[in-house]
Structure 1
Amino acid sequence: MELRPYQKEAKTAVLSQWEQGNSKTLLVLPTGCGKTIVFAKIAEDRVRNGERVLILAHRGELLEQAADKILNACGLGCAVEKAEESCIGSWYRITVGSVQSLMREKRLAQFSKDYFNTIIIDEAHHSISDSYQKILGYFDEAKVLGVTATPDRGDMKNLGQVFDSLAYEYTLPRAIKEGYLSPIKALTIPLKLDLTGVGTQAGDYKASDIDTALDPYLYQIADEMLKYCKERKTVVFLPLIKTSQKFCKILNEKGFRSAEVNGNSIDRGTVLADFDSGKYNVLCNSMLLTEGWDCPSVDCVIVLRPTKVRGLYCQMVGRGTRLCEGKKDLLLLDFLWHTERHELCRPAHLICESPEVAEKMTANIAAAGMPVDIEQAEEKAKEDVVAQREEALAKQLAEMKKRKRKLVDPLQYEMSIQAEDLSSYVPAFGWECSPPSDKQKATLEKLGIFPDEIDNAGKAQLLLDRLGKRRNLGLTTPKQIRFLESRGFQHVGTWQFESARNLIDRIAANNWHVPNGIDPASYEPKVVNNSDVGI
């Protein structure tokens, strides 16, 4: 099986991290982008090197999927370490193993500590739990790859505690832009659901409390669905089984062809197959289908189980992001959840790194009153936030002009080059959280960035990497940005180096005054490479 370009990049990045000595590394690919294929090919590579590979997962369906994909993609069979089945004595070099089985001390003791050379963790956002840590601690010499579509954890602990590095991340917007996932349209339904009395448990909203708050609105929600998704194939996520069953009945009363599945459903396989074939057009479930189930023809997702866990929200929406013949887009219905807490996940959190942009995007979608493409909505929200920031920055710049120093404040630099990833950066791994090194600070100062306002090594390194890329692309330097923006020119960070230098030469020749006929607020250089904005 031929890997897609980003899958090749991902595989190369993982192997590179291991070669550099980062024995525990993380790979992030959105749902529907073939993460199983990538780690199957990595497992094949390890087997060719004579290694034994363990693939860990917490659910039987994930183990079966992994074994099937490895057989189809690589022609390699897998041994099984689960319940009564054991890989010991098998000639297969790859084992798919259940965490619940392997975590038992008696089970682990049957293996030598170097039995597995490589461990791959599917759905790695679960790996911080004690059960996974017990297994990783036993096979402590093995290289580890964590693979996930959702790098957040419900208990808010950071995966940086488990992994040494992030080898590769393929983002949802990039996957949509490159044609590997379906475009997403979000629609805010003006139905206010009050969550102010809902408590929290294990880092998220308590399902039983959500159920109580949601129950009075079920008929109204069904009426809204009649307006927007009667002709769509819809999956609805609800907090409890009883609510899922009740809502399924309501939908059938309203004329939908609705079915319900839960962990106790004896006929679950039949119901899922019938939904796939079109016998039903709505499938209700109580959080059963967040992982390990694929139905590419789903083109509408409704989340009636509000969550503050971004990873869980992405998993739910991910049930509808796959491509399918005849499918134009995924419609994501969002309701006006009223809560005093601001952690509630909304469509904006699928693609926004900045909380500020996410908040603005959520407000814009709600005001639109019609389905809005989330990529376009994010761009508009970014523009709005930039405008707000520029207003605040103008005041800061006025203060900066009074300062003697010739260095650029990091905030001014990030705003000028329009680098959202820099302004929203949050350190994750151990080394990133430590203070900037003296060498980093000295280099930043030499290149024109004021280093005292950078409080972690990860941000310092990101800035240094960006400065190097911009130099190679022939874009403006921090000192050029500082000089020209102090005289009122806008977004100098998007200019070419030569354009800025020519203008500075003209100002210098005019006794350091802006020449007549040039309005700094509206001035645009003749050569601007817009594709490099954010670099």
Structure 2
Amino acid sequence: MEAKKINLLNAYERGFIDRFTPKTSHHPPELIINSKEENVLSPMLDALESCDSFIISVAFITEGGIASLKTALYELNKRGVRGRIITSTYLNFNKPKVFKELLKIPNVDVHITRQSGFHAKGYVFKKKKYSIMFIGSSNLTDSALKKNYEYNLKLTSLDNGAVIQHFSEQFDELWEASEPLTTTWINDYEKIYEESKHDEKVLKILETKQPYHFNNLDPKEITPNLMQVEALDSLKNLRLMGETKGLVISATGTGKTYLSAFDVKSMNPDRVLFIAHREQILNKSLNDYRNLIGGDPADYGIYAGARRDADAKYMFATIQTFSKDNHLKQFASDRFDYIIIDEAHRSSANSYEKIINYFEPKFLLGMTATPERTDDNEIFGLFDFNIAYEIRLQQALGAEILSPFHYFGVTDYIVDGETISDTSSLKDLLDEERIQHIIDKLHYYSHAGEHVRGLMFVSNREEAHQLSELLNQRGYKTKSLTGLNTQQQREDAVELLEANKLDYLITVDIFNEGVDIPSINQVVMLRQTESSIIFVQQLGRGLRKHEDKEFLTVIDFIGNYKNNYLIPVALTGDKSFNKDRLRKDVIDGTVITGESTINFERIAQDRIFNSISKATLDSLANLRRMYSYTKNKLGKIPTLVDLHKDQEAMNPMLVLNKYDHYVTFLGKLKEETEPLTNGQDRILTFLSQEIVDGKRVTEILLLKELLKGPVNIADFQKDMYQKRYFMNDSTMTSIIRMFTLEFYTQQKRTKYAYPLIEVNGDFVSLTQEFRSSLNDDYFKAQVEDVIELGLLQSEEYDQTVQLTLNEKYSRTDVCRLLNWEKDETSTIYGYKNKHNTTPIFVNYHKSDDIDESVRYDDRFLDSHIFQWYTRKGTNLESKINREIIKDYQNNDTAIYLFVKRDDDEGVYHYYMGEVDIDLDSAENTMIGLHDDQHKVAKMNFILKHTVDYNMFRFIDGNK
């Protein structure tokens, strides 16, 4: 306890007196502000998840604020941790539904204070030896925790600290004077709340943003959202360039139909044709057009089913009817000036092609949220490869065009250690205890607003029918819908749902697209994720904004499915397929912008991690599919730079991490390539394996200059220094040794064979082999492509320093970037002291098969203190450790800490920054079993840069 006290005293010295103090200090005070880099929610969840009890005192609470903490509270309840919350009825801000949601949380006790002017915002999370307190401006609302500009001070205190004691005493006094939350109290409050709705102050607080602001009687009131403004400008520019076709790729719910109506209104064509695949879409689209464009109602007509409004100025037709020859051929090919193809990913079908090839409009617009669904190259070619505008889910959420969502990855039913999996029978899926498990999760994670309007997606038709019956027997109002139901039956069911006469529509896949039910406030996934595209489509059913919902709840039941790794891909849009990054996405609280959150119960999270570990993400089939998407999009073989710039395509580093170079990969795909000489092959392999990652931009820029001719070494160094890139004599020497291959091991020198440069006095130039190879235009294009990709990749790193915090490096990278003469990866053995540098590499989570004798307890004691053990068989008296400590004391070495979560991350470690040694903490000790112990030393490192919360949670989680 005395050591803890000293460390906290040092922490307060660091936080309030001297931020450069070298003393070991756990948990320094921190000011937390919502921004792109951090938010209040992440450190609060970190404190909540590991606490032994908690108290929260806040005036205002929203359903979204509660939702942000529900998974953490669920996990706390599993280990018997309880907490107390005091809130209020101040200004009657808190909705009755908020209090109903609080009552659902079994391990939280809630009291309501009548304290006049109660406006407190304080959170205390108690642990065994200390408490963490957040005091500031954040109420328990989703906006305050993730989006609003808030000031919050995070403080750590021992139990006898004056501030924490005073807070606890005040909380206890207020608790005793407050009223317990009960169902009876909520019923009484509902009456008061309803009466207060007419209060102007309350109305101002409760008002919500709408996606469109318009009066149906006055079309001038309709204004475009951000996406539509940008897309309209792009479409205008496309036409100014003489183009007659364009494709808009826009996330579900962003307003594609209104976008097309805005553009039609701008062009003012004589006749318009709108093609869709369902009559239900036509009716909605017609009304949207009429609301915006106005005019005579007779100008708007339907051409589908029994209706034939052939003379309408604005004709809305189904593809099934209009593509038939007896209907199509009655119209002249130039009848329509503007044609819109809704759900354009379907346009590669013969029926759509038939219409597109027949008509000659002044402009053809395609609209889709999921162009990836097509399996051939027709969709992009049909629109002349003109992508007028593209906005995906992440961007749309950031622009607040869509409703925020709270995603809950919950654990599917487990019995006798077995859970729902890919091979589960219908009997298992409909087991009585699983049904109750589903109901329990629906109740706990709930929905925004008073009434649930939910969509459930299941695996097959029979499951949909029987699940509906079983839920209805338990008091729910549900209806199953499958492909066997008629269009009218579907529309009738949707009307019942919107009228609150149904709670859920249970379906297989028929509502993936083409259905507009903005009031949906809950999406339930009771099937494995077969495709990230379908996942996003189903999620998108609830992302449209609606006045009756503040957010969408997504409850995803995660079983032992092999494709679970697709869940983070779908939620984050991260197409890198980097296993480590996918795992980090699961934990990272800032990966989703705005008020949305992603939450996984612990077992569900473990299942996703297990799926990521087992998945073969860089299989040729997977790479071929992603490559083909970009090729089809461009209408040509994409370059590496093309792949990088296409945010929806694969990361080209996936290819270069598996194959020597891009030409090798293209050969595997049977694409037409030109043969490379042995020298060209070796040089391109070197460039693709050693510089393309962009970790040191100066070496790429040197190579780019060398393609033009010899370079003066001193002039180049001066130029790099003036551009603020990290550069000194040692760096320049290191770059030269890399390109001459002197840096590399004999094995790699044999592999690459041909040095790229030679030094002649003050100048450096390309070798004869390299220069002559560049006379081949195909090879030169490949080299330039790699160089340009390297420059793009370099933007991910801080080039003003040698190493970028939180980025990943191999041991070879570190040897090179620290300017070592040779690659000494094979002899580092965890750490090495060389050239006034000491890189230390730590594998944080040791594998189960690691010998007990080397199971070091290397770990973060908090976000800026790291406990480190020396190499097995060495202690403070050992030569290597004495040298490190001596050099550190004499300021003759810089110590760099690199950490990887586990072996599944391969050879790469995250750079945690430079560290200082807390010399007072250094001591000799022993590790291993009683009969097999080994001497080691342990000491604490003080990180010069505090590890950010999400990185800390990612690395330290489950340890």
Structure-2-length-normalised TM-score: 0.38
> Structure 1 regions of 5+ residues with no counterpart?
197-211, 389-421, 438-449, 457-474, 484-496, 525-535
8 Å Cα contact 2:497/2:503 also seen in 1: yes
Pairwise mapping of residues 391-402 of structure 1 onto structure 2 (< 5 A)? Answer: none
Pairwise mapping of residues 224-263 of structure 1 onto structure 2 (< 5 A)? Answer: 224-230=437-443, 231-232=446-447, 233=452, 234-261=454-481, 263=485
8 Å Cα contact 2:248/2:366 also seen in 1: yes
1:189 to partner: Cα distance:
2.0
Identify if the C-alpha distance between structure 1 residues 479 and 266 changes in structure 2 by more than 3 Å, giving closer, same or farther: closer
* Corresponding residue for residue 331 of structure 1: 553
Following the alignment from structure 1 to structure 2, what is the Cα–Cα distance between the partners of residues 146 and 64? 19
Q: Does 1:15 align with 2:236?
A: yes
* Corresponding residue for residue 400 of structure 1: none
* Corresponding residue for residue 223 of structure 1: 436
Q: Which amino acid aligns with 1:356?
A: F
Pairwise mapping of residues 118-133 of structure 1 onto structure 2 (< 5 A)? Answer: 118-133=338-353
8 Å Cα contact 1:245/1:260 also seen in 2: yes
Q: Does 1:189 align with 2:411?
A: yes
Q: Does 1:134 align with 2:354?
A: yes
Q: Which amino acid aligns with 1:43?
A: V
Q: Which moved more, 1:56-65 or 1:261-270?
A: 261-270
Q: Which amino acid aligns with 2:511?
A: L
Q: Which amino acid aligns with 1:222?
A: I
1:277 to partner: Cα distance:
3.5
8 Å Cα contact 1:306/1:344 also seen in 2: no
* SS of structure 2 residue aligned to 1:290: coil
Following the alignment from structure 1 to structure 2, what is the Cα–Cα distance between the partners of residues 377 and 425? 28
Q: Does 1:57 align with 2:302?
A: no
* SS of structure 2 residue aligned to 1:28: strand
Following the alignment from structure 1 to structure 2, what is the Cα–Cα distance between the partners of residues 238 and 175? 27
Q: Which amino acid aligns with 2:369?
A: A
* Corresponding residue for residue 24 of structure 1: 245
8 Å Cα contact 2:273/2:316 also seen in 1: yes
Q: Indicate which of 238, 245, 260 corresponds to 1:39.
A: 260
Following the alignment from structure 1 to structure 2, what is the Cα–Cα distance between the partners of residues 68 and 326? 21
1:241 to partner: Cα distance:
4.2
Q: Indicate which of 173, 176, 181 corresponds to 2:397.
A: 176
Following the alignment from structure 1 to structure 2, what is the Cα–Cα distance between the partners of residues 178 and 100? 36
* Corresponding residue for residue 114 of structure 1: 334
Q: Does 1:67 align with 2:286?
A: yes
1:16 to partner: Cα distance:
2.3
RMSD between aligned alpha carbons? 4.6
1:509 to partner: Cα distance:
11
Following the alignment from structure 2 to structure 1, what is the Cα–Cα distance between the partners of residues 724 and 895? 15
1:84 to partner: Cα distance:
4.8
1:117 to partner: Cα distance:
2.5
Q: Which amino acid aligns with 1:245?
A: H
Following the alignment from structure 2 to structure 1, what is the Cα–Cα distance between the partners of residues 560 and 731? 57
* SS of structure 2 residue aligned to 1:115: coil
Following the alignment from structure 1 to structure 2, what is the Cα–Cα distance between the partners of residues 83 and 431? 37
Following the alignment from structure 2 to structure 1, what is the Cα–Cα distance between the partners of residues 377 and 472? 41
8 Å Cα contact 1:185/1:373 also seen in 2: no
* SS of structure 2 residue aligned to 1:356: coil
* Corresponding residue for residue 290 of structure 1: 512
* Corresponding residue for residue 395 of structure 1: none
Q: Indicate which of 630, 633, 637 corresponds to 1:429.
A: 633
Q: Deviations over 1:274-313 (max 9, x none)?
A: 4224343322234343334333343321233546344433
* Corresponding residue for residue 698 of structure 2: 479
Structure-1-length-normalised TM-score: 0.65
Q: Indicate which of 523, 528, 532 corresponds to 1:301.
A: 523
8 Å Cα contact 2:301/2:316 also seen in 1: yes
8 Å Cα contact 1:248/1:260 also seen in 2: yes
* SS of structure 2 residue aligned to 1:320: coil
Following the alignment from structure 2 to structure 1, what is the Cα–Cα distance between the partners of residues 462 and 350? 31
1:253 to partner: Cα distance:
2.8
* SS of structure 1 residue aligned to 2:470: helix
> Structure 2 regions of 5+ residues with no counterpart?
1-221, 414-418, 600-604, 613-625, 642-655, 667-693, 703-719, 736-817, 820-834, 837-890, 897-912, 916-959
* Corresponding residue for residue 318 of structure 1: 540
Q: Does 1:354 align with 2:575?
A: yes
Identify if the C-alpha distance between structure 1 residues 308 and 355 changes in structure 2 by more than 3 Å, giving closer, same or farther: farther
* Corresponding residue for residue 318 of structure 2: 98
1:83 to partner: Cα distance:
4.2
* SS of structure 1 residue aligned to 2:530: coil
1:506 to partner: Cα distance:
7.4
* SS of structure 1 residue aligned to 2:430: helix
1:135 to partner: Cα distance:
0.8
Identify if the C-alpha distance between structure 1 residues 71 and 244 changes in structure 2 by more than 3 Å, giving closer, same or farther: same
User: Identity over aligned residues, as a percent?
Assistant: 23
Q: Deviations over 1:107-141 (max 9, x none)?
A: 22212222223221111121111110111111155
Identify if the C-alpha distance between structure 1 residues 511 and 313 changes in structure 2 by more than 3 Å, giving closer, same or farther: closer
Following the alignment from structure 1 to structure 2, what is the Cα–Cα distance between the partners of residues 273 and 502? 62
Identify if the C-alpha distance between structure 1 residues 323 and 83 changes in structure 2 by more than 3 Å, giving closer, same or farther: closer
Identify if the C-alpha distance between structure 1 residues 348 and 499 changes in structure 2 by more than 3 Å, giving closer, same or farther: farther
* Corresponding residue for residue 146 of structure 1: 366
Q: Which amino acid aligns with 1:433?
A: I
* Corresponding residue for residue 204 of structure 1: none
8 Å Cα contact 1:331/1:371 also seen in 2: no
Following the alignment from structure 2 to structure 1, what is the Cα–Cα distance between the partners of residues 430 and 580? 27
1:508 to partner: Cα distance:
7.8
Q: Which amino acid aligns with 1:54?
A: L
* SS of structure 1 residue aligned to 2:395: helix
Identify if the C-alpha distance between structure 1 residues 348 and 224 changes in structure 2 by more than 3 Å, giving closer, same or farther: farther
Following the alignment from structure 2 to structure 1, what is the Cα–Cα distance between the partners of residues 627 and 533? 22
8 Å Cα contact 1:123/1:148 also seen in 2: yes
* SS of structure 2 residue aligned to 1:298: coil
Q: Which amino acid aligns with 1:296?
A: P
8 Å Cα contact 1:184/1:373 also seen in 2: no
Q: Deviations over 1:160-180 (max 9, x none)?
A: 343312211112112222222
Q: Does 1:504 align with 2:693?
A: no
* SS of structure 2 residue aligned to 1:317: helix
Following the alignment from structure 1 to structure 2, what is the Cα–Cα distance between the partners of residues 223 and 371? 30
* Corresponding residue for residue 495 of structure 2: 273
8 Å Cα contact 2:411/2:559 also seen in 1: no
8 Å Cα contact 1:40/1:73 also seen in 2: yes
Between Structure 1 and Structure 2, which shows a larger proportion of strand residues? Answer: 2
Between Structure 1 and Structure 2, which shows a larger proportion of helix residues? Answer: 1
8 Å Cα contact 1:150/1:310 also seen in 2: no
Structure number with larger C-alpha Rg: 2
Identify if the C-alpha distance between structure 1 residues 251 and 377 changes in structure 2 by more than 3 Å, giving closer, same or farther: closer
* SS of structure 1 residue aligned to 2:373: coil
Identify if the C-alpha distance between structure 1 residues 122 and 358 changes in structure 2 by more than 3 Å, giving closer, same or farther: farther
